[in-house]
Amino acid sequence: ADTFNIYYSEDMNANLDKSTIDLRFRLMEEENLEYLEAAKNEDIVEIADALGDILYILCGTILAHGLQHKIVEVFNEIQRSNMSKLDVNGKPVFREDGKILKGPNYFKPKIKEILEK
């Protein structure tokens, strides 16, 4: 398969060079702005394109950090943590700006433990 010769790490790596970090961030920022414009314009084709590009860039960033072997478990743990934000009746409690607040059963995701296994 053809690639863009993107840096790929088999081992977890938080120590990317500054230019790689800046590039990965700029690419994500650009696609997020494209999504925002497409959503405001109610253009489902451009929304799908932006979301596909965001996913593609995210996957490349995961590979650059060598997290490809852990990211599914990390995501699942974040999902469990997010679901723990529900109130005692299993309902989300929203802040005025729409953000979901932490309920009484909230627990912080145990990402460090996942990465250390």
pLDDT digits (tens, 9 = 90+) for 28-52: 999 999 999 999 999 999 999 999 9
To the nearest whole percent, how much of the chain has pLDDT over 70? 93
Other C-beta atoms lying within 10 Å of the C-beta of residue 68 = 15
Rounded Cα distance, 21 and 15, in Å: 9
Q: What is the value of pTM for the model shown?
A: 0.84
pLDDT of 2 higher than 60:
no
pLDDT of residue 39: 99
* Residue 64 confidence class, pLDDT cut points 50, 70, 90: very high
5: left (phi over 0), alpha (psi -120 to 50) or beta: left
Rounded Cα distance, 95 and 102, in Å: 10
Q: What is the mean pLDDT of the chain?
A: 92
